Amino acid sequence: MIDLSTLKHAPGARKKRKRVGRGPGSGSGKTSGRGHKGQKSRSGYSRPQGFEGGQMPINRRLPKRGFYHEDRFAMEIVNLALLEKTFEAGAEVTPASMAEAGLVRACKGGVKILATGELTKKLTVKVNAVSAAAREKIEAAGGTVELYEVPESRAKTRRGRGRTARASTEE
């Protein structure tokens, strides 16, 4: 009969704790399995992540590559084939309507339309960027393309110049 008082763990499921420092007869007395002397034998010792015994660690031996460009915002990419499949003829396609349809996520860089696929519907497309081939296909189908301006919050100051990127392009 099985009830709560007769339940046991499966064999090998539980391992007994190693009791160290309990005399020479236990097999791990005296130094308690830590060897003789040295940093790792002391109490409270913990080596830093990536420590290689004093050897120059691999993260410092290997060179750095690339950089983070603080003024760059990645754009969400949408192909014409998706617009054809998702929107009805005569619809206005904006980043908000594409997000509502699940084509893009909120993105600081905005949305760019690329020309992969065919478009047969007349659409009004209002996005941040569009490839030349995509613009041709949209206009060939009877649609129009409008580009949004880059929001002022994204026009950061350039290093060492003390003026915004927008101001430097207007000069």
Residue type, 132: A
Query: Alpha carbon 60 to chain centroid distance?
Result: 24
- Residue 162's pLDDT is 45
pTM: 0.51
Dist. CA 76–CA 165, nearest whole Å: 22
Dist. CA 97–CA 70, nearest whole Å: 28
Over 70: is that where the pLDDT of 154 sits? no
Q: Which residue from 136, 134, 138, 135 is spatially nearest to 122, judged by alpha carbons?
A: 138
Query: In this predicted structure, which of 7-21, 58-72, 128-142 has the lowest mean pLDDT?
Result: 58-72
Q: Which residue from 51, 55, 148 is spatially nearest to 98, judged by alpha carbons?
A: 148
pLDDT band at 151 (very low <50, low <70, confident <90, very high): low
For the chain, state the CA radius of gyration: 32
- Residue 17's pLDDT is 92
135 strand-pairing partners:
none
Task: Name the percent of the chain lying above pLDDT 90.
Answer: 70
Over 70: is that where the pLDDT of 5 sits? yes
**Structural domains of the chain in order of their starting residue, each with its CATH number:** 76-154 (3.100.10.10)
pLDDT digits (tens, 9 = 90+) for 43-102: 999 999 999 988 999 999 999 999 888 778 888 999 999 999 999 999 999 999 999 999
